Structure 1
Amino acid sequence: MNHYAPWRYALMVVLIILGVIYALPNFYGADPALQLQTKSGVPFTLEQQEKVTEVLTEQHVEPIAVTQESSALLIRFKNTEDQLKAQSYVQAVLGEGVTVALNLAPRTPAWLRALNAEPMKLGLDLRGGIHFLYHVDVDAMYQEQLNTDVRAMGEALRKKTIRYMRIGIIPQADKTPDGGIMIAFRNEEDRAQALSVLERDDFHAYQFTTSKQNDRYFIQAIFQHTAALALAEQAMTQNLTTLRNRVNALGVSEPVIQQQGRDQISVDLPGIQDSARAKEIIGKVATVRLQLVDMIHDPQGPVPVGDTRFMYEGRPYLLYNEVVLRGRSILSATTITDENGRPAVSIRAGGGEVSRFNQITAENVGRPMATVYVETKMTSKMVDGKVITKTQEEPRVINIATINSALGNSFQISGMESTYAAKNLALLLRSGAYSVPIAPVSERTIGPSLGAENIHAGTLACEMGLLFVAVFMLFYYHVFGLIANCALLLNVIFIVAIMSSLGATLTLPGIAAIVLTVGMAVDANVLINERIREELRNGISPQASIAAGYQRAFVTIVDANVTTLIVALILFSLGTGSVQGFAITLIIGLMTSMVTAIFFTRGLVNIIYGRKRVTSLSIGITVQS
C-alpha cells in the first residue's frame, strides 16, 4: 500500500544531489575584489598584470590573488578597505581605457563553477552600497514634443503656401497628456487645405478636429493618450540606457536599475560608498554644442536678434543661436593632452549633423567658433503645498578657437579647466544626455558593516526558526516529526539552490520570506500528521491511516498554498524593490515546500513503514492496531 515505484526514489535522490550542489556555493563566502575590463574587450597582457601588482605592492596593498578570467582581470583582497584603496591606484595606473569595478569574488571551487553553480547575489541591504530614487519629468517631455510639432506643422503649412493667422500650444489640463496644438485661419478654404496636409503628413500622434468661433476657423490637434504613453515609454527606456552607461562608467558590478511606476527610476549601486561621486556622474545632465561667434556686432552693445552674449576669460562675446553641432551627435569622447600640454577632449561625431557641420565649417574658415558647455540643473520649490520641479540650463563658453579648415567627424575640445573636468566631460558625452530631465527624490547609503550585520541577523533568524520548529516537531510527532524536520532542511536547501540557479537577488525581506516559508512548510506536515492521528483514533490500521492521511490532507494543503501564491504574485507584480524580493522568495518557497512536505516526506515514511506489518506508528500517540 505505502510504497513508491523505484523511479520515484531515484528522482528523490537526484533532486537532493542537485539541490546540495547548487546550494553549496553560498557556504564558501566571497572575497572583496576588483574586476578589470578593457573597454575594447582585449585581454590584459602579462606586462599590465605585473604593473598592477607592482603599484599595489608599492602602496602596501597586498592582494590575495590576481587571476585572468576570460578578458577580465580579477584581483582579490582580504578586506573592503584594501579593495577601495586599490581601486584608485589601479585606475590611475591603467587610465581611462580600463573599467575598474568593485566586486565580490566568490570562493566557489572550480568543480562547482564547471557545473555553473554560483552563489546568490546579495541585495543592497545585505552587501552595502547606495540607493537612489529619481523622478523623470515626463510632463517636460510632452511639452518639448508639442513645441517641436508646432514648428513642424507651421513649416509644413508654409511649404504648401497655406496661410494661417497663428499657431500655438493648447495648455495641458492638470498636467495630463491631453494637450495639443491650435491653428487659426481666416477662412474655411485655408483650413480645409491645411487639414488635408496635416492628416497626410507625419502627425499620426494627433487627433484633428475643427471648430469655428466668431469669424475665425480653427484646427485642434489633440495629442492622443496612446501616443503619449508610447512617448513616455520610449523616453524611460532611453533614460534607463543612459543611466546604465553612466553607472558602468562608475565601475559598479551587478547594479540594479529599474523603472518604478510611471515616472520613477530606482538605482542600486552595491559596494559603492562615495555618494558625492555617484551623484555627480548619475545626476549631472550635461552636453556641449558648437556655435559660431558673431564678429559683426559689438559684443558690448545691445544684443541683436538671433544672438546671445556670453563671457569668456573676462571678455564678452556674441554667439549666433544657431547650433552648428550638438552633443547628441557625439559617438565617442576621450581625454587627451593638447599641443600646449593642457587637458582636452578628443571627439568623434556621427549622424546626420556631421555633413552640415563640415559644410558650415568649410564656409567659415578663419572665423572663431565657440564650444558651449551646457549643464541642465533641476530646481525645486514649494508652491501651494506642492513641490514644483523645473529644469534650468546653465550654458558657459569653455573654448573659443579659430576654424583653420573644414572639420569632419573627428576634432578636439581644448580649454578645459583641469584633467578632472576633461575626464568628467568625456564620460558624460560618452554616456549621453538624458532624453528627459531627472531629479533626485531620495538617497540611502548602507555601509558594509551594516550589510554584514543584516546578514548575521537574517541568518540567525533562519537558524533559530528552524531550531525551534525542529524541536517542537520532534517532541510532538516523534519519528514523523523527524521526517518533517528532514523535509524542512531540504526545503531551505532547495530555496537557496533555485535562487542561486536563477540568479535571483537575496534581500533582507527575502530572508524574512524564507523564515515565513519554514513555518508554512511545517504547517503542511502538521495537517498530514494530525490526519493520520485521527485515522488511528478511529481504529484504522497504521498502513491505511498513512495512506488516508496523505490523501485527505492533500487538497487542504494545495488550497492553502494556492491562496498564498496568488497574494505573492500580486505582491510581485504591483510591488517594487524589497517587496518584490520578498514576493519572489515566498513564491519559490511555496513551490518547494509543497514538494518536500508531500513528495519527500511520503517517500521517507514509505521507506520506514512501507511494505511491513506495522502495529503502531511513532507519531506522538499510543494507539495499538
Structure 2
Amino acid sequence: MNRYPVWKFVLMALAVLIGLLYTVPNLYGSAPAVQVSAASLTTKVGSDTSTRVEQLLAAASIKPDYVSFEGTSVHARFSSTDTQIHARDVINAGLNGGADKDAPPYSVALNMVPRAPRWMDSLHALPMYLGLDLRGGVHFLLQVDLKAALDKKIETLITDTRTTLRENSGLKDKSIRPSVSRDGIAIDVLVHQADAAQQVSNVLTDAFPDVQWSSANDGTDVKITGTLKPAALIKEQDQAIRQNMTTLGNRVAGLGTSEPVIQQQGPDRIVVELPGIQDTAKARELIGRTATLQIRMVDQSAEGNAAANPNSLVPVNDDRYANSPEVADRNGPYTVVKKDVIASGDDLADAQASFDSQTSGNIVKLQMNAKGARAMTETSRDNIGKLMSIILFEKGKGQVISVATIQSELGDRFQISGMRSAEASTELALLLRSGALAAPMEFIEETAIGPSLGADNIAKGLHSVAWGFVAILVFMCAYYLLFGVISTLSLGVNLLLLVAVLSLIQTTLTLPGIAAIALTLGMAIDANVLVNERIREELRAGSAPQTAIAAGYGRAWATILDSNITTLIAGGSLLLFGSGAIRGFAIVHCLGILTSMFSAVFFSRGLVNLWYGRQKKLKSVLIGQVWKGGAQPGNVPQPDDLPDDDEAAPAAGSRPRVAR
C-alpha cells in the first residue's frame, strides 16, 4: 500500500544530488578578480588578450589563481584584495600604457568572481547574484523627458512630410504645393488650391499611417491637420523608454558589474542599480556616455594624402582620425577626411546587423531618414568613384570604421562592410541604434550603499532563516515525533531545491528575496501539518496505521493543492505587475511554492514509505499523541492493543485505534 517504485526513489536521490550541486557554489563565496573588457567598439578582446594578461602578471611576479577568457572579457582571479589591486595596476599599465588616458582601448576593472572550483562552471553551477541591498553599490533614479522625445518625433514628421509632398509627382507644380508648419504637437499642411486638398490628404494618409489627418476650411485655403494617433503616441513613448534602457545597459557594461538592474518605474522613470560599484562619479560619467557616427568624404588630394602621416600638418578644412584595426590593415593607421559632415547619427533611422552572402562577410545595414537620405543622394551623385568614410564618435574620440568607394548613387539605405565578426556587427548596430538617448534624462535620486551594510543585511537575513528553521524543527520533532523528523527533512530538501533553482536561473537575490525564503519555509511546513493531522484523524477513526498513512496523504493532497494554487495566483500577480523589490520577492515566493509541493508531499511520503512501507503488520506509528474524543489524558492504549493491518475495521461503538 505505502510503497514507491524504484524510479521514484531514484528521482528523490537525483533531486537531492542536483540540489546539492547547484547550492554548494553559494557556500564558497566570492574571490577578488580583475576584469578586462573592451572600452571601445573597435577594441577586440579574445584569447590573445588573455595570453597578454598572463604575460604581464608573470613579468610582475604575480601568481593568479587562473586567467580565463569568458564571453567578451578576460577574468583573472586572485587570493587577496592587495594582490588584486596590484594586478589591476600592472594590467592597466601594460594594456593602456601608450594610449590616450581619456579614451583607453581596454577597461580594467576590479570585480568579484565565484570562488567555487572551475569544473562547476562547466555545469553552470554558479552562485546567485546578490542585489544592491546585499552587496552594496550605487542606485540611480532617472527622470526621462518624454516631451523632448515627442518633439523630436514631430520635427522628423514635419521634415518627412515636406519631402513627401515635394517628391510626389502630382504636386510638382509649386503653385499648388502645400506649406507645412508646426502647431504644438500638430502638423499643419495648408493647401492653397481647394481642388488639390483631397489629393494631398490621400498622399499624407498613405505615407503616414500613424498620423490622424483631418481637413478644415481656412478662408480660401484648406488646412489639413495631422496628429499622432493615441496608439502611435504610446508606442513612441514606450520606444523612448526602451531605447534609453538599452543605451544605459550598453553603457554600464563597462563597469564590470555582472548583475546590473535597469528597469522602468512608472511611465517616465528608470531605475539603475549597480551592485558592487562604489565610485558614484565614474558611474554617472559612464551613464552619460554617448556614441554616434558621421559620414564624410575622404580628402584624396595630395595635401590630404600627405596629412595621413601623423607628423604632418592637417589642412584647415580637414580632420585626421585614427583607423579601426580593420580599416588600418588596408589603409594605414590614419585617414584624413573633410570637415563637411554629409550625415550624422541624428539622421540615422535604423541600424541592423546582417550577413552578406556574396562576400561571406558580416555587415551593418543602415537606413537614413528623409533628411539624411537626401544628403546621401546628392553627395554620392556628384562623387562617383571617390572614397566616403564613416566615423564613429565614442567618449569624445572619433575613429574611422569604414572607408568605401562610391560605386553608384546612394539612397536612404546602405551598409558598412568589413566587420570582424557577427558579434562586432551586432554590437555596432546596437550602439548606433541606441548610442544616443531617445530622450534626455535627469538624475533625481542618487544613493550609495556600502559593502558593510550589505554584509550586515546578509547576516541578518541568514540568521532569520536559520532561527526560523530551528524553531520549526524543534516544534515538529516534539509534537509529531518521527513524522516531525521526516517533515523537517522534507523542509530541508525544500530549502535546498529552492536555493538550487535560484542559482540555476541566476536570479538576483535581494533582502525581500531572503524574506520570501523565510516565508516559504513557514508556509511549506503547513502541508506536512495537514498530512500529519489527517493521519491522526484516520487513526482516531479506527483505521489501521498503513491505511491511515495512505488516506492521510491522499485526502490532504486536494487541500494542499488548492491552498498552493491560490497562493501561487497571488504571487503571480505580484510577479506580473510588480517591479523592483516586489518582483524579487514574488520570484522567490512562486518558486518556493513549487518546490514545497514537491518536497512536502512527494518527498516526505517517500521517506515515510521507506521507513514504514515494508512493515506488513504495522501496529503503531510515531506521530505523537492521538487523543480520542472524550478520552482522558493518560488513557492511551498501548501499541500491543492495536490490531494488525489485515484485521477488519472495528465495529461501531468499539474502541478506536490510538497510536504514538
Same fold (TM over 0.5): yes
Higher share in strand: 1
Output the amino acid matched with 2:131.
Answer: G
CA contact (8 A) 1:212 1:218 kept: yes
Q: Distance in 2 between matches of 1:263 and 1:82?
A: 44
2:52 — aligned with what? 48
CA contact (8 A) 1:329 1:349 kept: no
1:556 — aligned with what? 559
Distance 1:143 1:350, change over 3 A: closer
Output the amino acid matched with 1:169.
Answer: R
Residue 242 of structure 2 aligns to a residue in which SS? helix
Residue 212 of structure 1 aligns to a residue in which SS? strand
Q: Distance in 1 between matches of 2:392 and 2:437?
A: 23
Aligned length: 524
Which of 530, 544, 547 pairs up with 2:547? 544
Matched, 1:489 2:469: no
Q: Distance in 2 between matches of 1:277 and 1:37?
A: 16
Q: Distance in 2 between matches of 1:187 and 1:361?
A: 36
Deviation at 1:519, TM superposition (A): 0.1
Matches within 5 A, 1:7-406: 7-37=7-37, 39-44=43-48, 48-50=52-54, 52-53=56-57, 64-69=64-69, 72-80=73-81, 83=84, 86-87=87-88, 89-95=90-96, 96-159=104-167, 160=171, 161=173, 163=176, 167-171=180-184, 179-200=185-206, 202-212=207-217, 215-283=220-288, 324-327=342-345
CA contact (8 A) 2:295 2:390 kept: no
Residue 496 of structure 1 aligns to a residue in which SS? helix
Moved more, 258-267 or 524-533: 258-267
For the aligned residue pairs, the C-alpha RMSD in angstroms reads: 3.8
Q: Distance in 2 between matches of 1:596 and 1:157?
A: 69
Residue 617 of structure 1 aligns to a residue in which SS? coil
Q: Distance in 1 between matches of 2:146 and 2:18?
A: 48
Q: Distance in 1 between matches of 2:273 and 2:374?
A: 41
Output the amino acid matched with 2:77.
Answer: R
Output the amino acid matched with 2:389.
Answer: N
Distance 1:141 1:37, change over 3 A: closer
2:388 — aligned with what? 408
Structure 2 portions without partners, runs of 5+: 97-103, 298-338, 351-363, 402-427, 627-635, 643-660
Distance 1:211 1:22, change over 3 A: same
Residue 239 of structure 2 aligns to a residue in which SS? helix
Residue 182 of structure 1 aligns to a residue in which SS? strand
1:506 — aligned with what? 509
Distance 1:359 1:602, change over 3 A: same
Q: Distance in 1 between matches of 2:78 and 2:152?
A: 50
Distance 1:167 1:520, change over 3 A: same
Q: Distance in 2 between matches of 1:134 and 1:77?
A: 36
Output the amino acid matched with 2:573.
Answer: I
Which of 504, 524, 527 pairs up with 2:527? 524
Deviation at 1:281, TM superposition (A): 1.9
Q: Distance in 2 between matches of 1:4 and 1:510?
A: 35
Q: Distance in 1 between matches of 2:365 and 2:566?
A: 57
> Structure 1 length as normaliser, TM-score?
0.74
Q: Distance in 2 between matches of 1:56 and 1:122?
A: 33
Q: Distance in 1 between matches of 2:587 and 2:34?
A: 30
Q: Distance in 2 between matches of 1:47 and 1:605?
A: 56
CA-to-aligned-CA distance 1:505-561 (integer Å, 9 cap, x gap): 211111111000000011111111111122222222222221222122111111111
Which of 566, 575, 582 pairs up with 2:585? 582
Matched, 1:455 2:468: no
> Structure 2 length as normaliser, TM-score?
0.71
Distance 1:436 1:443, change over 3 A: same
CA contact (8 A) 2:251 2:289 kept: no
CA-to-aligned-CA distance 1:123-181 (integer Å, 9 cap, x gap): 2222222122222222221221112222322343344236467543343xxxxxxx432
CA-to-aligned-CA distance 1:35-90 (integer Å, 9 cap, x gap): 22454143136872355326866xxxx66524234575322234556645654553
Structure 1 portions without partners, runs of 5+: 172-178, 293-320, 332-347, 365-405
Residue 446 of structure 2 aligns to a residue in which SS? strand
CA contact (8 A) 1:349 1:409 kept: no
Output the amino acid matched with 2:590.
Answer: I
1:372 — aligned with what? none
